[in-house]
Structure 1
Amino acid sequence: MTDPVVPGSLAALQARYGERHRWLLLLSLMIGTMASVMSSTIVNVAIPDMSQHFALGQDRAHWVSSGFMAAMTVSMLTTPWLLARFGYRQTYLICMWLLLLGGIGGGFSNHFGLVLVARACEGLAAGVVQPIPAIIILRAFAQNEQGRASGIFGMGVVLAPAIGPSIGGVLVDWFGWRSIFFMVAPFCVVSMWLAYKFVPITAPGGVAADRGGAPLDWIGLLLATAGTLSLLNGLVHLHDGAPLLAGGLLVIATLSCAGFVWWERRIARAGNTTAGATRGAAAPLMSFDLFGYRQFAMGTVVAFIYGTALFGSTYLLPVFMQRGLVLSPSYVGTILLPAGFILAGTIALVGRLADHQPAHRLVSIGLLLLASSFALMVTVNTTTSLFVLVAWAIIGRIGLGFILPSLNLGSMRGVDRALIPQGASVINFMRMLGGAIGVSLCGILLEWRLAAHGDSLTALATSSARLDAFDEVFCVVAGICAVAIIAAWQLRERATPAPPSAD
């Protein structure tokens, strides 16, 4: 253990704040995570106005969301290495500075390329930050407190996307799309102040950060980046008149994925040998030992499919309301606000249930409600009462409230403590990879179905053909959620021995 007299160490903070410290630490991380979540979702309210400002087609405009998702997805794999190398506090502060600079830079950008660079910076920061709370909850809290901690943390975090679109919609109407980039600034500043007080300088497990430790697995990171970017670009070009380019990119994505798996297994084997266990040997970004745990393996499947549906719909819903139902950005935010508050309350309630109820049951109920919400959106048109739209959105948010506190806990139960940082990063990576693909797929499917119905989002007036196109995409997203229920049921605990523990 680190010497408790070292200022800022885990032992020193625990000695100073006692049992309160883990809750204060969770609060500190919650504020920063709120900023990262807000940066990932609030920009969707401004996509239509941004598209008009830069004269973008739908195939390019969706990169504002999917570019962020791609950067966030890849950077998640680096979280365990960064925490081991630099400790919690320095890693967290660097991310908050990068998120702050990305928000300010995006707000002042006069070229769409600079907006994408700013979004990539925000995505890189958000990707590193988001697995950290799960690591803290699984390490610092007893098993009978983990659900409660997840519920409280999740309730706070979802308030950001709940309130964000409403405030962002008003800002877009009053000050233009640039203003929404600046919303993350106060959250970043507050989170950095809290980090200096409550986030330890130590690494996971309370040990000192090892700045001279194993180097980053750059080859694995480059393969993961190449695979993710090639996959997303390939999906985009499938329907923009460049099938050969799309096919080539998808082949590169497949080869990169295969190369990543081969390389990670290779350096894992090398690290298990005496010669490979030297300080100069890189540790794998993704430990495939995790997939020896059945619940974890099924959890990654659920996380991937769930991410595809969730983030795809996060992009789709605001566009549907603005371009399909012809509602203003501020009106869209107001409509989604009640559902956001209900989501926060549901997470707090389900978090307590997660300490006593089987995770597979809670996750399955959530996915069923989420699928139902998307399917019911088919009944909405320009003559539908807004109360109906709000009700369908609330059903989906209740579903999310069942899933969010339960999925990580159900997937990580039984995983060796030494693998918890890797496990938290992999679960988040799979969820965000699904999310990045989901944003692209929803944009592509929408463009395809609009073209099939002889319509386009560039036309200001809506039509029944446009609503039909949206309905078809909603049905696809509902089907994806329904498929995830099959994998979610495999999260149930069985009386089978777990893989050998490292203890």
Structure 2
Amino acid sequence: MSRSRSAPLDTSVEALRAHYGERYRWLLLLAVLVGTMASIMSSTVVNVAIPGLSHQFSLGQERAQWVTSGFMVAMTVSMLTTPWLLSRFGYRATYSGCMWLLLTGGLVGGFAHNFPLVLAARVAEGLAAGVVQPIPAIIIMRAFQPHEQGRAIGMFTMGVVLAPAMGPSIGGVLVDWFGWRSIFFMVAPFCIASLWLARRYVPTTGPGGVVPSRSESLDWVGLLIGTVGTLSLLDGLVSLRTEPAAHAGGLLVLALVCFGVFIWWQGRRARLGQAPLMNLRLFSWRPFAMGSLVAMIYGTALFGSTYLLPVYMQMGLGLSASSVGTVLLPAGLVLALAIAAVSPWADRLPANSLVSMGLAILALSFALMVTVGPSGNMWLLVTYSIIGRIGLGFILPSLNLGAMRGLEKDLISQGSSVINFVRMLGGAVGVSLCGIVLEWRLGVYGVSLSGGSTHPETRLAAYNEVFLMLAVLCTLAMLAARHLGSHGGANSGADIAAQTRQ
């Protein structure tokens, strides 16, 4: 009896699977689900607090958006380190360390009394979130049979989307009642629960059940180049509106140079037999290459809109933070239902069809936003948000499977890390891009972001143009989605699952 209540002394993946039986893979998925929910909630819920932060620290638009962009940069870059951390320290140490860092960042941000400390806390949270988010896909591709992978990723994703669905609603109420600081404390209960679950269900071994090895060093040079390139790209985008053209152009050129040097460096390490931060062999698999392109454009549209919508409703339509949560909550719940409905199809239908359908619906939701007038009809906002989330319900369970099925076994960890990296790189660009284009269009119309009730129609025209830009991006992503892998590839997935259980 006591054996069933406590975890075994041997915490390797084989021992835990023998102890808990067939249900173990679902218990492991639950354990990483809670931590991933915390990381995703920390990435999105802060958006409802941006107006409060701006007022507290007298921030302009370009500085306020770094609360989100700083998190995104840290999360994007740290995703590339996940395969190395897992092979060096194992699942449990890597996962638990990230949860401690996320918890610390939340507490420090909540108690901070100056903006640099808030920004530092957000960067710490981003580093933790970036390492954690590729882990679930690695587990699903290794621990589940191909005919279960769609259902597993669907159940996992359905749980994960509850974080951004519930987060803005709860966060909006907390901001109205207790101020912006309460937003940072929201992740604490999730982090504590995830640490407890990790001690019971997350193995100490690395991917494939192997014992962590300290023989391979991290590609620090590649990580530095990637970090400098990402920061240069985002800072260059922001500088397009705040600095002379030569300054912004120099940063963007530096970002381009860093990108080229990064690719050269990764190829050189591979030729020398050293582990690269990003294995370029991944892109020789066409479905993965096209899936990465879709993920980048999709990330730009998704995270750009996640930043834009709360600002649009609060500063464009004059709604309160709690009203923003009220609008977004039904859409989040519909997203969970849509994922539950679409997930079984991901095991049977071509991924390219499901992803293309989702992108078309998402583009439609952005285009419909231009029909909302200055009065801010709540029912229209709820309806259009729901339409967009239905589109996400088609994309989320299908994109990773369509891109990663058929990859060699030793590339699965890298594949999950890289596709999450390019999605978040697109997201980081999307947040900056929406802020830049919005500020540019507001300037063209001669109004400010917080211009009160003056010129509401012209202010909304600026927002509408940004929504149309997002719709065009989703339409472009559909061209690449046509080349995603189909539901075929189950045989290669079966080989992978069989190999990892040996």
TM-score for the superposition, normalised by structure 1: 0.95
Instruction: Check if 1:303 corresponds to 2:295.
Output: yes
What SS does the corresponding residue of 1:490 show, helix, strand or coil?
coil
Q: Where do residues 70-149 of structure 1 align in structure 2 (5 Å cutoff)?
A: 70-149=73-152
What SS does the corresponding residue of 1:144 show, helix, strand or coil?
helix
Provide closer, same or farther for how the CA distance between residues 358 and 417 of structure 1 changes in structure 2, counting only shifts above 3 A. same
Corresponding residue for 2:460?
Answer: 467
In 1, are the aligned partners of 2:347 and 2:487 still within 8 Å (CA)? no
Instruction: Check if 1:345 corresponds to 2:341.
Output: no
Give the aligned residue type for 1:464: E
What SS does the corresponding residue of 1:205 show, helix, strand or coil?
helix
Instruction: Quote how far apart the aligned CAs of 1:357 are.
Output: 0.9
Q: Where do residues 44-63 of structure 1 align in structure 2 (5 Å cutoff)?
A: 44-63=47-66
Distance 1:323 1:128 in 2: 33
Q: Where do residues 297-376 of structure 1 align in structure 2 (5 Å cutoff)?
A: 297-376=289-368
Distance 1:154 1:72 in 2: 19
Give the aligned residue type for 2:23: R
Give the aligned residue type for 1:330: S
Instruction: Give the CA RMSD over aligned residues.
Output: 1.7
Give the aligned residue type for 1:134: A
Instruction: Quote how far apart the aligned CAs of 1:313 are.
Output: 0.2
Distance 1:420 1:201 in 2: 19
Aligned residues between the structures: 487
Corresponding residue for 1:217?
Answer: 219
In 1, are the aligned partners of 2:106 and 2:185 still within 8 Å (CA)? yes
Distance 1:42 1:495 in 2: 37
Distance 2:284 2:315 in 1: 46
In 1, are the aligned partners of 2:403 and 2:485 still within 8 Å (CA)? no
Instruction: Check if 1:386 corresponds to 2:386.
Output: no
For structure 1, which segment, 238-247 or 364-373, has the greater mean C-alpha deviation from structure 2 after superposition?
A: 238-247
1:254 to 232, 253, 256: 256
What SS does the corresponding residue of 2:209 show, helix, strand or coil?
coil
Write the deviation string for residues 111-164 of structure 1: whole angstroms up to 9, x where unpaired. 111111000000000000000000000000000000000110001000011011
What SS does the corresponding residue of 1:38 show, helix, strand or coil?
helix
Corresponding residue for 2:233?
Answer: 231
Give the aligned residue type for 1:479: V
Give the aligned residue type for 1:44: N
Give the aligned residue type for 2:472: G
Corresponding residue for 1:184?
Answer: 187
Work out the percentage of aligned pairs sharing the same amino acid: 64
Instruction: Quote how far apart the aligned CAs of 1:241 are.
Output: 3.3
Write the deviation string for residues 264-285 of structure 1: whole angstroms up to 9, x where unpaired. 00000000xxxxxxxxxx4100
What SS does the corresponding residue of 1:77 show, helix, strand or coil?
helix
What SS does the corresponding residue of 1:79 show, helix, strand or coil?
helix
Distance 2:82 2:315 in 1: 38
Instruction: Quote how far apart the aligned CAs of 1:461 are.
Output: 2.5
What SS does the corresponding residue of 1:491 show, helix, strand or coil?
coil
Corresponding residue for 1:457?
Answer: 449
What SS does the corresponding residue of 1:149 show, helix, strand or coil?
helix
Instruction: Check if 1:14 corresponds to 2:17.
Output: yes
Corresponding residue for 2:4?
Answer: none
Write the deviation string for residues 159-188 of structure 1: whole angstroms up to 9, x where unpaired. 011011001000100111111000000000
Corresponding residue for 2:283?
Answer: 291
Corresponding residue for 2:483?
Answer: 490
Instruction: Check if 1:377 corresponds to 2:379.
Output: no
Give unpaired runs (5+ residues) of structure 1.
272-281
What SS does the corresponding residue of 1:239 show, helix, strand or coil?
helix
2:415 to 402, 407, 423: 423
For structure 1, which segment, 486-495 or 351-360, has the greater mean C-alpha deviation from structure 2 after superposition?
A: 486-495
Q: Where do residues 239-278 of structure 1 align in structure 2 (5 Å cutoff)?
A: 239-271=241-273
Corresponding residue for 1:160?
Answer: 163
Give the aligned residue type for 1:159: L
Instruction: Quote how far apart the aligned CAs of 1:240 are.
Output: 0.9
Distance 1:64 1:384 in 2: 27
1:477 to 466, 470, 484: 470
For structure 1, which segment, 46-55 or 85-94, has the greater mean C-alpha deviation from structure 2 after superposition?
A: 46-55
Distance 1:384 1:310 in 2: 22
Instruction: Quote how far apart the aligned CAs of 1:493 are.
Output: 3.9
For structure 1, which segment, 181-190 or 378-387, has the greater mean C-alpha deviation from structure 2 after superposition?
A: 378-387
In 1, are the aligned partners of 2:442 and 2:448 still within 8 Å (CA)? yes
Provide closer, same or farther for how the CA distance between residues 255 and 183 of structure 1 changes in structure 2, counting only shifts above 3 A. same
Give the aligned residue type for 1:231: L
In 1, are the aligned partners of 2:351 and 2:487 still within 8 Å (CA)? no
Distance 1:417 1:461 in 2: 58
Distance 1:385 1:35 in 2: 32
Instruction: Quote how far apart the aligned CAs of 1:386 are.
Output: 1.1
In 1, are the aligned partners of 2:360 and 2:475 still within 8 Å (CA)? yes
What SS does the corresponding residue of 1:209 show, helix, strand or coil?
coil
Instruction: Quote how far apart the aligned CAs of 1:495 are.
Output: 9.2
Instruction: Quote how far apart the aligned CAs of 1:384 are.
Output: 4.6
Corresponding residue for 2:3?
Answer: none
Instruction: Quote how far apart the aligned CAs of 1:5 are.
Output: 8.3
Give the aligned residue type for 1:489: R
Write the deviation string for residues 462-494 of structure 1: whole angstroms up to 9, x where unpaired. 511110000000000110001000100111449
What SS does the corresponding residue of 1:370 show, helix, strand or coil?
helix
Distance 1:495 1:191 in 2: 35
1:38 to 3, 18, 41: 41
Instruction: Quote how far apart the aligned CAs of 1:245 are.
Output: 1.3
Deviating 4+ runs (over 3 angstroms):
492-498
What SS does the corresponding residue of 1:381 show, helix, strand or coil?
coil
In 1, are the aligned partners of 2:349 and 2:487 still within 8 Å (CA)? no
Give the aligned residue type for 2:284: G
Distance 1:25 1:181 in 2: 27
Write the deviation string for residues 433-464 of structure 1: whole angstroms up to 9, x where unpaired. 00000000000000000000001113233511
For structure 1, which segment, 382-391 or 78-87, has the greater mean C-alpha deviation from structure 2 after superposition?
A: 382-391
Give unpaired runs (5+ residues) of structure 2.
1-6
Instruction: Quote how far apart the aligned CAs of 1:193 are.
Output: 0.2
What SS does the corresponding residue of 1:161 show, helix, strand or coil?
helix
Distance 1:495 1:84 in 2: 30
What SS does the corresponding residue of 2:483 show, helix, strand or coil?
helix
